[in-house]
Amino acid sequence: MRRLFIALLFLASLPFASAQDDPLKVAFIYVSPAGDYGFSYAHELARQKVDAHFGDAIETVFVEAVPEPDVEPTIDQLVADGADVILGTSFGYGDGILAAAPRYPDVIFGWGTGYQRAPNVFTYMADLYQPYYLNGMIAAGLSETGQLGYVAAFPISEVKRHINAFTLGAREVNPDATVDVRWLFNWFDPAGTKEATEAMIAEGVDVIAFTEDTPTAIQTAAEYDVPSFSHYASMVEFSPETVASGHLVNWEVIYIDFLQKVLDGTYTSDNLSDVDYFWLLEDDAVELGSEPGVKIADAFVEPLQNTMVDHPELGSISVYDLVMDRHDKMVAGRDVYDPFLGPVVDRNGNEVYEAGYLPTIGDLTSLEWAAPGVVGAWDNEPQ
Amino acid sequence: MLPFRLEKRGVPSAGLIWGVSLAAVAVAMLLTGVLFAFFGVPPIEAFRTIVERTILDARGLSEVVRRAIPLMLAGVGLTLAFRANFWNIGAEGQLLIGATAASGIALFSGLPAGAMLPTMLLAAFLAGAAWGLLPALLKTRLGVNEIITTLMMNYVAIYIVRWLINGPWKGPSLGGFSYTERFAPEAVLPTIGTTRLHWPTLLLAIALALFVAWLLARTRFGFEARMMGESPEAARYAGVNFFKTTLTLILVSAGAAGLAGFGEVAGIHQRLVDPGSLSLGYGYTAIIVALLARKNPVAALVTALLLGWVAASGDVMKISLGLPSQITGVTSGLVLLSIIGSEPFLRYRLVRREPARTPSEAI
């Protein structure tokens, strides 16, 4: 009888005990399977790091391969499961997130790469334009023909910004370098990527960069011994010999910062209207590297150290040192160095940013122009 | 020799069809349960969660019906075509073109509020019908196999939509993303509460099913269509006008798929989006809806709900049970496989061999 009483007492105390230690439940929604290389995989790696960082304070779950129109019912199910924070990682989730958010005013929503906020919806982005700029310098340093190639997903502002940064970097090393751009009109298109890569190599391109969700460009370029760059996460394992460097994203830096502020009460479900992360090298949200911690793959260090350029500002300098100079300055802050600091002229000769003007984040996220040296079709280009 | 043999049945009774179909679903659930157990999810609990989230929960139920709407419209249309032996595999393309026509009206017509939705609906129906017309003409005039032509027309439709949203119809306010602008409120269908259940389209689907059932059972056109399906030789001999009947039935069948496209853009997306997001393969699933319904338009309403439920259950498995995304495809495959596999039980019965007979008598 006494034992039963104790057991009942224990059971009665359970709801209170669990209410106190209830971890913050954080749900991630991915647009493709988490195991695939590319965008969703980078978020999945970040989720695992968030899990490890917060221990028992946070419980994470993820839902993969959610088509854009299905994000709203997915949110309904996640809320029913008790999610406190829901992070929709894809631009196309915006309609669904903004429709569901008013229905669940106590739940916090994040719209990755999005642009519209609400009291319980914040937006976030880890932008890669700075590492792409450094990749462009490396590419021009390695190229013999001066012809670089870029396989691009969609002509949206983000991708245009990255192509421009890559091209400006290439031109800083070789003022005659060109960047041939091929559009896929798709985020995931291994067949199209292979075709575009091979076509450009056949035309004399000897370094390849890309924005597409698979390692296909790296694998195809490797067949011709053409250097390429890791995209989002390390892709070195697909071709250890030819991946020269890359642009890596550390989404966990943003996630940990945000969730810490949720845990300590700074961010709540009614003060997020102005919370917009646009984090860069200086925030450690993105990184130059073929793999984490390796800025330039070993085999490419010496060739870049031996390639000297005559730089208008820094005099005779090796490409390697030039890359590191720019890298360290960008890590110090956008006000120390930014590739888009005016004067910037587009490929049609229009002045885009006047001398001394540092474009705002808003300028960069609505960018439409094409840098001098970019070759190929360019949707919605200012004439 | 086996102690049993198969004996052909006559026309299966409604009770038998229901019994066998339910048994097939039960077998599928059993197999799915085994799959759950392999992934370390207790099957009973898993099914309870699925039922709680999809049927006992109002919002979950609204999603089941919401997914069933395009399957109903396209599926009902297909029952009519299949009855007449016109193998329309092109509902997907007809749906997409219907959605495109409705979007075009919504974005560019500037019609007043009262005329907007009816015009979109009409445009979607006519565009879907027109998309089916070409394969119908090729079949009746030149004898080209409609399975090939309707299927190929799907790809043409996919690329037309892609071209529009990447090119002339791309919304200027979206920073280069491939969508059109959002429709104005007068071009959006009402929904029940805050759900996404666009009820006018549901009513339309029910009305269409009843209309097609009436066409098939009570009209001269329906009689001729059925005769073309069941005995083309007899139909020819009886003087059925294959050309006219085929064109009429494709008008209704492909037009219905076009209406499904109207429902998706005006009810769900509120803009024209990528074909992969727009339809989630509804046009192909509708083929299964029509065949499971044994080409009966009213039964297609029920099979559409069943497949809508399978899709919604897949979401629950993925989200609440933490199963990998590929599992949803596997489970819906199991349901379809067991239902299709149950088909012989409707046509044959298993009888015990009588031991004294000679082999020749047994045949």
HEC readout, A263-302: HCCCCCCCCCCCCEEEECHHHCCEEECCECCECCCHHHHH
Find the distance separating the first CA and the last CA of chain B, reported in whole Å: 13
Tokens 């064109």, residue?
B247
Residues of A in contact with B316 (CB under 8 A): 77
Decide if A64 and B325 are in contact by the 8 Å CB cutoff: yes
Assess contact for B339 and B25: CB atoms under 8 A: yes
Same domain, A71 and A180: no
Question: Residue A51: what pLDDT?
Answer: 95
Q: Which helix (H) or strand (E) holds B356?
A: none
Question: Residue B363: what pLDDT?
Answer: 45
Per-residue tokens: A247: 């642009």
Same domain, A48 and A164: no
Decide if B315 and A380 are in contact by the 8 Å CB cutoff: no
Decide if A65 and B162 are in contact by the 8 Å CB cutoff: no
Decide if A74 and B276 are in contact by the 8 Å CB cutoff: no
Same domain, A135 and A47: no
Same domain, A316 and A219: yes
Distance in angstroms (rounded) separating the CA atoms of residues A129 and A127: 6
Decide if A69 and B53 are in contact by the 8 Å CB cutoff: no
- Which residue numbers in chain B have pLDDT < 50? 361-363
Amino acid sitting at position B103: S
- The Cα of B176 is separated from the nearest Cα of chain A by a number of Å equal to 4
Task: For chain A, 383 residues long, give each residue's pLDDT as a single digit of tens.
Answer: 455 555 544 444 444 444 446 899 999 999 988 887 888 999 999 999 999 999 999 999 999 989 888 899 999 999 999 999 999 999 889 999 999 999 999 999 999 999 899 999 999 999 999 999 999 999 999 999 999 999 999 888 899 999 999 999 999 999 999 999 999 988 889 999 999 999 999 999 999 999 999 999 999 999 999 999 999 999 999 999 999 999 999 999 999 999 999 999 999 999 999 999 999 999 999 999 999 999 999 999 999 999 999 999 899 999 999 999 999 999 999 999 999 998 999 999 999 999 999 999 989 988 999 999 999 999 888 88
Residue B277 maps to a domain: yes
Residue B311 maps to a domain: no
Residues of A in contact with B188 (CB under 8 A): none
Interface test with chain B among A28, A60, A64, A70, by most B beta carbons within 10 Å: A70
Residue A210 maps to a domain: yes
For the four alpha carbons of A263, A264, A265 and A266, in that order, the dihedral sign comes to negative
Assess contact for B274 and B96: CB atoms under 8 A: no
Using DSSP's 3-state secondary structure scheme, residue A213 falls into coil
Q: Which domain holds residue A120?
A: 23-127+251-283
Assess contact for A157 and B176: CB atoms under 8 A: yes
Q: Judging by DSSP bridges, how do beta strands A315-318 and A308-311 pair with one another?
A: antiparallel
Residue A152 maps to a domain: yes
Residues of A in contact with B180 (CB under 8 A): none
Distance in angstroms (rounded) separating the CA atoms of residues B251 and B132: 7
Residue B7 maps to a domain: no
Same domain, A174 and A46: no
Total CB pairs under 8 A between chain A and B: 74
Question: Residue A347: what pLDDT?
Answer: 96
Residue A136 maps to a domain: yes
- The Cα of B15 is separated from the nearest Cα of chain A by a number of Å equal to 36
ipTM for the predicted complex comes to 0.82
Decide if A33 and B325 are in contact by the 8 Å CB cutoff: yes
**pLDDT tens figures, B102-134:** 999 999 999 999 999 999 999 999 999 999 999
Residue A7 maps to a domain: no
Same domain, A276 and A311: no
- The Cα of B270 is separated from the nearest Cα of chain A by a number of Å equal to 10
Distance in angstroms (rounded) separating the CA atoms of residues B158 and B175: 23
Q: Does B268 touch chain A (CB under 8 A)?
A: yes
Residue A234 maps to a domain: yes
Residues of B in contact with A65 (CB under 8 A): 318, 325
Alpha helices in A22-156 (DSSP H): 39-54, 71-80, 94-100, 129-142
- The Cα of A32 is separated from the nearest Cα of chain B by a number of Å equal to 9
Of residues A99, A101, A24, A85, the one with CA closest to residue A273: A101
Q: Which helix (H) or strand (E) holds A108?
A: strand A108-112
Distance in angstroms (rounded) separating the CA atoms of residues A79 and A64: 16
Q: Say which CATH number the domain at A142 has.
A: 3.40.50.2300
Same domain, A370 and A229: yes
Residue A3 maps to a domain: no
Residue B9 maps to a domain: no
Residue A302 maps to a domain: yes
Q: Which domain holds residue B261?
A: 67-305
- The Cα of B320 is separated from the nearest Cα of chain A by a number of Å equal to 7
Q: Which helix (H) or strand (E) holds A198?
A: helix A190-202
Residue A362 maps to a domain: yes
Decide if B325 and A160 are in contact by the 8 Å CB cutoff: no
- Local structure of residue A118 (DSSP, 8 states): B
Amino acid sitting at position B122: L
Same domain, A37 and A86: yes
Domain total of chain A? 2
- The Cα of B128 is separated from the nearest Cα of chain A by a number of Å equal to 22
Same domain, A183 and A267: no
Distance in angstroms (rounded) separating the CA atoms of residues A372 and A168: 8
- Local structure of residue A237 (DSSP, 8 states): G
Q: Which residues neighbour A253 within 8 Å (Cβ) at sequence distance 6 or greater?
A: A126, A279, A283, A284, A285
Of the partner residues B60, B277, B312, the one whose CB lies closest to the CB of residue A69? B277
Question: Residue A18: what pLDDT?
Answer: 42
Q: Which residues neighbour A144 within 8 Å (Cβ) at sequence distance 6 or greater?
A: A206
Alpha helices in B112-266 (DSSP H): 113-142, 146-166, 199-218, 220-230, 232-237, 242-263
Of the partner residues A65, A115, A185, the one whose CB lies closest to the CB of residue B166? A185
Domain total of chain B? 1
Same domain, A122 and A170: no
Residue B289 maps to a domain: yes
Same domain, A135 and A103: no
Distance in angstroms (rounded) separating the CA atoms of residues A119 and A112: 16
Residue B115 maps to a domain: yes
Residues of A in contact with B196 (CB under 8 A): 72-73
Same domain, A330 and A223: yes
How many C-beta atoms lie closer than 10 Å to residue B46's C-beta?
22
Residues of A with CB under 8 A from a CB of B: 33, 61, 63-70, 72-74, 76-78, 80-81, 91-92, 95, 103, 115, 154-157, 159-160, 185, 365-366, 368, 379-380
